[in-house]
Every structure is written in C-alpha cells, then in structure tokens.
C-alpha cells in the first residue's frame, strides 16, 4: 500500500502558506500612547504601518519630522499641520533614537 504521507505533508505546507499570507494582512500594531490613533489614521493610506517599524533603528526625532514632511510634500499625504506635529511627537517618543 502506498503511503499517504506526501499528500498530508503537502496539505500542511499549503495550510501554513495560507496562514502566512493571512498574517500579513493583519493591521500592524503600533506601540500604545498618545497620537497612536492619529498615526494609524494618517500613515496607513499608501503603505503598511510596517514602514515605521522597519525604519525605527535609524530614526531620530529630527529625521521623523523630515520623514513626515516628505510624506506630505513629496508623496502628497493630506495631513493637517496639527496632526503632523502629533505624529512626529508620537514617532519620536516611541520609534526614535536619541540625538
Ligand atoms: C500619500 C501617500 C502616503 C502617505 C499618506 C504616507 N506615506 Fe510614507 N511613503 C509613501 C511613499 C510613496 C513612500 C516611498 C515609496 C515606497 O518605498 O513604497 C513612503 C515611504 C515611507 C517610509 C520609508 C522611508 C522612505 O522615506 O522611503 C516611511 C518610514 C514612511 N513612509 C512613513 C510614513 C509616515 C510616518 C506617514 C504618516 C505621517 C506616512 N508615511 C504616510 C507614501 C505615503
């Protein structure tokens, strides 16, 4: 009798792959804190919030300020100046390195 193992293995691999794809679609959690909701509302329109976390190790407060300005001036993000300030403060506090 032939073993069913290869079929079972293929099904497990397929299920895992589907799970992984689904996982990517989950909203990226931000660190909790004041301004978190403003960031989630304004920085998720064109790309994943993962962009913030991926860049975290390099970014100082000044660089986050420049980054938010760039999203607005270069890429056309529509963010109110007051929200931009909230976002910059939040990012500097939670995802910035000193300096
Ligand atoms: C109008 C669309 C848009 C909005 C809204 C937007 N971004 Fe971006 N963002 C882009 C584009 C376009 C890129 C660069 C292209 C790419 O790599 O996909 C980018 C790239 C980035 C990067 C990677 C580094 C870089 O400069 O390429 C970071 C970090 C980032 N965005 C942060 C933010 C933050 C924080 C916000 C909220 C203030 C935000 N983005 C809102 C369009 C946007």
pLDDT tens string 39-91: 999 999 999 999 998 887 789 999 999 999 999 999 999 999 999 999 999 99
Task: Work out the angle at residue 39's Cα, subtended by the Cα atoms of residues 23 and 65, and round it to the nearest 5 degrees.
Answer: 125
Distance between Cα 76 and ligand 1 center (Å) = 10
Closest ligand 1 atom to Cα of 42: 37
77 C-beta closer than 6 A to ligand 1: yes
Distance (Å) of CA 59 to CA 11, 43, 97? 42, 16, 6
> For residue 28, what are its two tokens?
């990226």
Model pLDDT, residue 72: 97
> For residue 23, what are its two tokens?
């996982």
């Amino acid at each position: 009798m032939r073993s069913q193992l290869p079929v079972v293995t293929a099904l497990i691999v397929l299920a895992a792959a589907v799970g992984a794809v689904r996982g990517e679609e989950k909203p990226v959690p931000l660190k909790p804190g004041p301004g978190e909701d403003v960031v989630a509302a304004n920085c998720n329109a064109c790309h994943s919030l993962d962009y913030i976390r991926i860049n975290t190790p390099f970014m100082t407060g000044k660089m986050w300020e420049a980054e938010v300005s760039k999203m607005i001036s270069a890429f056309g993000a529509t963010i109110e100046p007051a929200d931009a300030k909230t976002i910059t403060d939040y990012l500097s506090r939670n995802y910035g390195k000193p300096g």
